[in-house]
Amino acid sequence: MSDAELRTRIIEAARLHFFEHGFSKSTMEELAQTMGMSKKTIYKFFPGKEDLIREITREKLTAVHHTCLRIQGDRSIDFMERIRTITGFISKEMRALKPQFYVDLQRTMPELWKEVEEFRTKRVLEDFSAVIREGIALGVFRNDINVEVLVMMYSSAMQSIINPETLSQLPLNSSQAYEAIVEIIFGGVFTPAGKERYAAQLHTHDTTEAHRP
């Protein structure tokens, strides 16, 4: 196995382990045992646990962003299907992040948490704005809404709700909270025709899932 392949394997194993269990109480020794390798091998690529956390967090942010851009830019897919696919993808990614990871990140690595928040805000301002403007052009979203205000509402909701302190007060996980935000935001901006198309899209998706073996 080449160094590049070994490094990738370490990142993938660390992502699964830390996202599931958090990282403040996890050790590099536990990770090494999980992977069946020595700590020395991991330290060859990552001098400390914090370096590994930064790498997997930044890589995940970038990967999620690029996937959303790819889906959003695929004009061979119906607009409603793209919305459902993007929101479904983000919700799935959030389910993979257990609450403890959010807590650990905010409490023990505040500078990285700030980086996550800034990245998320920037991507929301650019990407969500593009989705709303396309929806208006297609007649799916109302044309009398203030795009800038709507995007800021969405961004603020993401920041204020998808965080450890708020989630600890809600009977929801991060994925459920995100889905609630999307439902409320989109519910207020759909045109009547847009609501019908979105409902039809959800029905088609649910029917397909129900018949999938």
> In this predicted model, what pLDDT tens digit does every residue of 65-105 receive, in sequence order?
999 899 999 999 888 888 888 888 888 887 777 777 888 88
Contact assessment for residue 152 and residue 102, using Cβ atoms and an 8 Å cutoff: no
The percent of residues in the chain predicted with pLDDT above 70, rounded, is 94
Residue 210 clears pLDDT 50, i.e. is over it: no
- Indicate the number of domains in the chain: 1
| Between residues 143 and 193, the one the model is more confident about | 143
38/35 Cα distance (integer angstroms): 9
Terminal alpha carbon distance of the chain: 36
> In this predicted model, what pLDDT tens digit does every residue of 127-174 receive, in sequence order?
888 889 999 999 989 999 999 998 888 888 887 887 777 888 888 888
Residue 10 clears pLDDT 50, i.e. is over it: yes
Average model confidence (pLDDT) across the chain = 85
Cα–Cα nearest to 141, from 87, 81, 57, 79? 79
Residue 211 clears pLDDT 50, i.e. is over it: no
Helix (H, G, I), strand (E, B) or coil at 36: coil
pTM > 0.75: yes or no: no
Name the one residue in this structure whose structure tokens are 């959303």. Answer: 68
Question: What CATH code is carried by the domain that includes residue 185?
Answer: 1.10.357.10
Range of the domain at 155: 3-210
What was the pLDDT predicted at 180?
87
